Structure formats: structure tokens, C-alpha cells
């Protein structure tokens, strides 16, 4: 039986990955802060099926202890400060967790578990304001926020540790991937929530946005820049790519995305269309929600993953949005 350690197991990706590994017969350990595990989270339903090790990705001792205790065959480093927008207000913390936390993990593997295979979660945010589209494994990085800068540092350190110490460490440069398990502060989930409120006739939502105001106020969903475009895929598909990367003979980095571009306006149209509403009647742009700098057009070229991993997405953009809207309607119905 293989053993895996997942950092960030209580998040969206961590919970989907844990389910996948359990289905494949793995013994699964998760590294989580104590307070994160004991409140309701995405992996709560897996209690009793996974083994939790308590610790913080900001603490090198916690990371080393987890590696020693689990002594895994595979490690999936998904733990991070995962909100690019919030990284402006939490720049030092973002660097400590997303940058130094990854390096401390690589050090722990080097000293305590050098035969272990390691997956590290990189991000399409690293491409930033790029003039090259689509982006592949050779596209230069040009980060425009503290989150992306920290991710670039960790991504470069993956290559350095792999080439300097011969460790099996890979990075997955994952483009935007969403699901019904995303927290409300993520943009696509916020749109799904707005559509659910419209379907239920909720004029002022019980949940608040990052400005401390109702996400839906007087029947309107306030968003930032409506002209952004992203490559959005389904998280359940993306964790399968993570696993495939660690099953290869050679450790290499891969870009993972759908290769299809959708605008925020497309997202709104699809979400509100799921409930028979016109998004133009329900969505407004609020300048206060616009980022200081916005990433350029990020569109994946997943050719390498398709040809070498045999990876293809199975859930379409429309199916993903429908899942998310349905889950938000169900959640709001339970809370009212």
C-alpha cells in the first residue's frame, strides 16, 4: 500500500485529491492546522478514512515532523495562502507560507525522505502580464501580485532542488480550477452564489464580500473588472493530473488547463442562465473591487500533459458552473 501526505488537505484541491487517492488504495495523511480541521471543511466527510497531522506550513519544525511521521511515498504540497487578491494585504505571510513553506518541505524531504516523490502546486498567476498566449512550460513568468511572486520563487526552487539533489519534485502550473467546494471569496463561486440568490429571490445576501458588504445587495452582485478572461476548469479533473505527474519515470513540470478561454461576462451569463436570469440585470462593476494590477490573458497550452500524461478534462465549463450554482442554491435553502 502506498502512503501519501497532502498539505492543505482541508481545501478544495486537497479534499478532491484525498478522495482520489483513497479510491486508489492509498493510506492518506493530511497536514492541517488544528483550528482548520476542527471546524467544518472540505475534508470533514473523510474523517476516519484519513490520518491528520497537525501543523502549520509557516513552521519548519511542523513540516519536518509531518514528513518524518508519515514517511510517505508521495507528497502533494497544496497548502498555501491561496487568494491572489488578498496577498496585497498579506504579502509577508504569503511569502512565508507559499514560498518559504515549500522550501522547508523540500529540505525535510532531502534530509528525512529522499526517495519520496513530491508534487508542488504552482499557478498560472505566475505568468502575470504576459504578451504570449497561450502559455506553456517554456513561457516566461511576469508576476503582478505578491501571491504570484511567491509562487515563482517556490517554482524555481523546485527546479533547483531537483537538479541539485536529484530529488523527484515536480511542479504543476495549474490554471484556474473551480468547483462547488470553493470558498465564497473566489470569483467564480461568488458568481454562482449571486445566481443562486437571484433564483431564490434574495435581495440582500447573508454572506459578505471582502469589503464587508453583502455579496448581493439590493438584488445586485458587485464584481470588479468585468473584462478579465481566464482558462477555468474543474478541480476534480486537475487533481487527477497531479497524481499522474508522480507516476512518470522522469520528474518534469507540466502546465494544466483546459485550453479554452472564457470571460467573466461569459461566466456570469452561464451562471445566471442556469436559473433563467439575465446577468445584465443582476451584476454591477464596483471599482473598489478591482485589483491594483490585473493578470493578463492566461490561457493554457496543455499539449505536454495531453501527450505525455494522457490527461484530458472531463467536466466542461458549463457543467462546472451548473454544479456550482446548484450547490449554492442547496446551501442557501438549508440556511433559510
**Residues designated catalytic:** 123, 125, 147
287: Cβ contacts below 8 Å, ≥ 6 apart: 224
Which helix (H) or strand (E) covers residue 324, if one does? helix 317-335
Please give the Cα distance from 272 to 168 (Å, whole number).
44
Cβ atoms of 119 and 269 closer than 8 Å: no
Cβ atoms of 182 and 315 closer than 8 Å: no
Residue matched to cell numbers 512550460: 137
Cis peptide upstream of residue 229 (ω within 30 degrees of 0): no
**Whose CA is closest to 268, among 251, 252, 285?**
285
Burial tier of 185 (Cβ tally within 10 Å: 0-12, 13-18, 19+)? middle
Cβ atoms of 181 and 166 closer than 8 Å: no
**DSSP 8-state secondary structure symbol assigned to residue 225:** -
Amino acid at each position: 500500500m502506498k502512503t501519501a501526505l497532502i498539505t492543505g488537505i482541508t481545501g478544495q484541491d486537497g479534499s478532491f485529491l484525498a478522495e482520489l487517492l483513497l479510491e486508489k488504495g492509498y493510506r492518506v495523511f493530511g497536514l492541517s492546522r488544528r483550528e482548520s480541521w476542527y471546524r467544518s471543511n472540505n475534508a470533514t466527510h473523510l474523517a476516519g478514512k484519513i490520518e491528520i497531522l497537525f501543523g502549520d506550513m509557516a513552521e519548519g519544525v511542523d513540516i519536518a515532523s509531518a514528513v518524518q511521521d508519515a514517511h510517505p511515498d508521495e507528497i502533494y504540497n497544496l497548502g498555501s495562502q491561496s487568494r491572489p487578491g488578498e496577498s496585497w494585504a498579506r504579502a509577508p505571510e504569503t511569502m512565508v507560507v507559499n514560498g518559504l513553506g515549500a522550501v522547508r518541505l523540500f529540505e525535510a524531504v532531502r534530509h528525512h525522505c529522499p526517495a519520496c516523490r513530491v508534487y508542488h502546486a504552482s499557478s498560472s498567476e505566475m505568468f502575470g502580464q504576459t504578451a504570449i498566449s497561450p502559455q506553456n512550460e517554456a513561457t516566461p513568468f511576469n508576476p503582478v501580485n505578491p501571491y504570484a511572486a511567491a509562487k515563482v520563487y517556490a517554482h524555481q526552487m523546485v527546479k533547483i532542488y531537483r537538479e541539485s539533489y536529484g530529488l523527484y519534485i515536480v511542479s504543476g502550473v495549474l490554471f484556474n480550477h473551480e468547483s462547488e467546494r470553493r470558498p465564497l471569496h473566489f470569483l467564480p463561486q461568488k458568481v454562482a452564489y449571486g445566481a443562486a440568490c437571484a433564483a431564490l429571490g434574495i435581495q440582500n445576501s447573508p454572506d459578505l464580500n471582502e469589503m464587508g458588504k453583502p455579496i448581493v445587495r439590493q438584488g445586485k452582485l458587485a464584481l470588479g473588472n468585468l473584462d478579465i478572461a481566464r482558462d477555468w476548469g474543474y478541480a476534480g479533473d486537475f487533481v487527477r493530473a497531479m497524481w499522474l505527474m508522480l507516476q512518470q519515470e522522469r520528474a518534469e513540470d507540466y502546465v494544466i488547463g483546459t485550453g479554452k478561454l472564457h470571460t467573466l461576462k461569459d461566466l456570469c451569463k452561464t451562471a445566471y442562465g442556469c436559473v433563467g436570469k439575465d446577468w445584465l440585470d443582476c451584476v454591477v462593476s464596483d471599482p473598489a473591487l478591482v485589483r491594483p494590477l490585473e493578470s493578463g490573458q492566461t490561457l493554457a497550452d496543455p499539449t505536454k500533459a495531453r501527450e505525455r500524461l494522457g490527461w484530458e478534462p472531463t467536466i466542461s465549463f458549463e457543467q462546472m458552473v451548473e454544479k456550482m450554482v446548484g450547490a449554492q442554491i442547496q446551501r442557501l435553502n438549508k440556511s433559510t
